[in-house]
Amino acid sequence: MLTCSTEDDANAVAAGLYMTGEPVIVMIQHAGLYASVNTIRGISMDGKVPIFYMIGLLSREKDKDPKDSRHSMVRFRGAAARRVSASRTPAWRVRTT
């Protein structure tokens, strides 16, 4: 496991590991997804580097659906999910208690 300073760094490290044949999973919080969207576009989409992401939902209220959250970044998660879906990128929502 490697710890990176920013999500942008994590994407670049993941790309380098992919190029050497190493399996990679990038674990970030959903706010980091928004922060690194340009890097993701450049590396994953334009560079055609497949990266597997596990994205945690920071400030999730376990008793509410994300769209009903009082936290704006959690509510905005829906917009990001729709964009991922529109790009035909496989994605799954995993819920834990």
- Amino acid at residue number 19: M
Q: How far apart are CA 74 and CA 1, in angstroms?
A: 27
Output the pLDDT for position 76: 60
User: How do residues 27-84 score in pLDDT, each as one tens digit?
Assistant: 888 778 778 888 888 888 888 898 888 877 766 667 776 667 666 565 565 656 666 6
Q: Where are the domains of the chain?
A: 7-86
Task: Work out the widest C-alpha separation in the chain, in whole angstroms.
Answer: 43
Residue 21 confidence (pLDDT) above 70: yes
Rounded to two decimals, the pTM is: 0.66
Mark out the alpha helices in the chain (DSSP H runs).
Answer: 7-19, 30-35, 37-40, 72-86
Position with higher pLDDT, 23 vs 68: 23
Q: Which amino acid is at 66?
A: P
